[in-house]
Amino acid sequence: MREKRKSVIELLEEKILVCDGAMGTMLFERGLEIGMCCEGANIHNPDIVLDIHKAYVKSGADIIETNTFGANRVKLSMYGLEDHVKDINIAAVDLARQAAGKDVYVAGAVGPTGKILEPYGVFSKAECYEAFLEQISYLFSAGVDLLIIETMSDLEEALLALKAAKEIDKNIPVISQMAFSQDGKTFMGVDAQTAAYALSEAGADVVGANCGGGIVPLIEVVREMKSVRDLKVSVQPNAGLPKIVDGRTVYTSSPEYFRKSVPLFIEAGANILGGCCGTTPIHISAICEGLMDSHTTQTQKEQIEVIEYELRTSADSIFKEESQFSNKLKEKFVITVEIDPPKGTDLGKVFSGVKALKSVGVDGINISDSPMARVRLSPVAIAHILKEQLEVESILHFTCRDRNLLGIQSELLGASALGINNVLALTGDPPTIGDHPNAKPVFDVNSEGLVHILAKMNSGFDLAGNALNQKTNFCIGVAANPGAENLEKELSRLRGKVKAGAHFIQTQPIYDIKVLEQFMESIKGMDIPVLVGILPLRSSKHAEFLHNEVPGISIPLKVREKMQRVDPDKAANLGVDIAFEFMKEAEGLVEGAYLMPPFGRYEMAIQLIERFYS
């Protein structure tokens, strides 16, 4: 039985403590292959993990972290190890405890799940909490002295991990660290003071920062965190910014540079010093040397150049061009028509169709984004070409399927720069149903998260809170399915999207006016324009296919019987008649119609528009 000793929190009242450095960096140096699960080494290569722990203890660390940064069920599932959460975490604590002896504290390391939480992503808070609860329960049962929740970009996720820790044992010391970029904010746009206050309110014993953009940016982060109730603050920076050498990530800040940073972190108010990515036992030895040096002169401090970053608080001006479609929504009943992007680069059919649609007064062209997960020409390219060559405004369908957060924001800025200002925010069809079923889906965010991103860009900031040099001017659309089997769930999602900043709604195709009436009644408090989806029927087979095989579409029996009785050569004309009658009925309920001509039959949409305006 271990001898009773002071807790880490009690010891922090007496002195500054040193934590260890990177585990992953050291594992890869010892031969672990890139792409392998670092945490799996606790079982498969325990001797290597133990040697790394011993090296950090020898370097002077007061605290060593278990090799469990990604040992939650969600992260381990990437390697097929989700059923080994218990084994991996317990083995990790045992290895760290062997190296720690009686003097060094063992901290259970808890990193993020790697998933983006709702409403931005599709990962639920309940699932996230359960994943943390499971991992932390094993770390606690195995006998850790404290927990380090680290590298969190999402404050909500950090709070869920902290809640799970305190649920298991409210007395266990918890260090809760966020990852900050060079502008002093997390990737989700939270500043240091906000994070420190929220974490301390939730019960964190120590707040702090790790990973991020290197040493210099974290000096100010520590100072900002320290200003909140004079909290205990920890800091574990990377060894500078990374670069790729021969396919490997390399960090270039030297141990000597780390030693020189010690007085600056002490001056800022740090209580725990350590390292993150790229650091080694030599870096930790250097930190210890810096602490032992009682003569931290001004000369030493000046050897680290503190770069003054230019931080904008808002964008300089709004994007010059406004959305004409947005203005039309306020003034008239608008009509938009969806076109199918071509499989290749030949836009001949699209051009002839859009020219004809323009001639009958269409208000906008909906351009789908590789619908049904089938490869098609980029809708951004088509929208730009239509604007430049035909002077037609488009509603750009934009999915989360194929782009990560970086790609989403970059492409949206590109669209704005090209004068594309109308975006329909969609989650997207999964690749498994398309022509490249083995393609990896991204889905960093869902449609609600995409609306949040678009709205932030309209305010002059990216998702991380970094200022853009100009605001965008997106008119943001969202989809809704009035015929959803679970309508309340559909409405709940829709409320979230409207609250996030949506400007208009486009519905799935509807064939029953009562369904539309009920839907409009249910969203009465949202006060948002609606474009009802209208898909003209081409034949009886088409009607039966839509009714029986397409989720969310229900065609009344009397409509299907009409399509069955008509001469096949006249079925398309009847389909236009049915669509026109519905469109006229809907005119007093909604602000517009969203026409979806089947199989590229633009003439059906043209007939509808001509009859509507006649």
How confident is the prediction for the chain on average, in pLDDT? 90
pLDDT of residue 303: 45
Compute the average pLDDT of residues 525-548: 95
DSSP H helices in 24-124: 24-29, 41-44, 46-59, 73-76, 85-100
Domain ranges of the chain: 8-302, 324-613
pLDDT (tens digit, 9 = 90+) per residue, 393-434? 999 999 999 899 999 999 999 999 999 999 999 998 887 777
pLDDT of residue 321: 64
User: Is the pLDDT score of 514 beyond 90?
Assistant: yes
pLDDT (tens digit, 9 = 90+) per residue, 220-238? 999 999 998 889 999 999 8
Single-letter amino acid code for the residue at 442: V
pTM: 0.77
| Residues in Cβ contact with 526 at an 8 Å cutoff, skipping those fewer than 6 apart | 494, 495, 498
Mean pLDDT check: name the lowest of 177-191, 250-264, 364-378, 401-415: 250-264
Q: 8-302 adopts what CATH topology?
A: TIM Barrel (3.20.20)
pLDDT (tens digit, 9 = 90+) per residue, 332-351? 999 999 998 999 999 999 99
Greater model confidence, 202 or 300: 202
Q: 324-613 adopts what CATH topology?
A: TIM Barrel (3.20.20)
Greater model confidence, 557 or 241: 557
Q: Long-range pairs for 351-358 at CB < 8 Å and ≥24 separation?
A: 351/389, 351/390, 353/600, 353/602, 354/386, 354/390, 354/392, 355/390, 356/602, 356/603, 356/606, 357/602, 357/605, 357/606, 357/609, 358/390, 358/392
pLDDT (tens digit, 9 = 90+) per residue, 565-603? 999 999 999 999 999 999 999 999 999 999 999 988 999
Say if residue 181 is exposed, middle or buried (CB neighbours under 10 Å; 0-12, 13-18, 19+): middle
- Quick one: pLDDT band at residue 295, thresholds 50, 70, 90? very low
**Does 324-613 match 8-302 at the fold level?**
yes
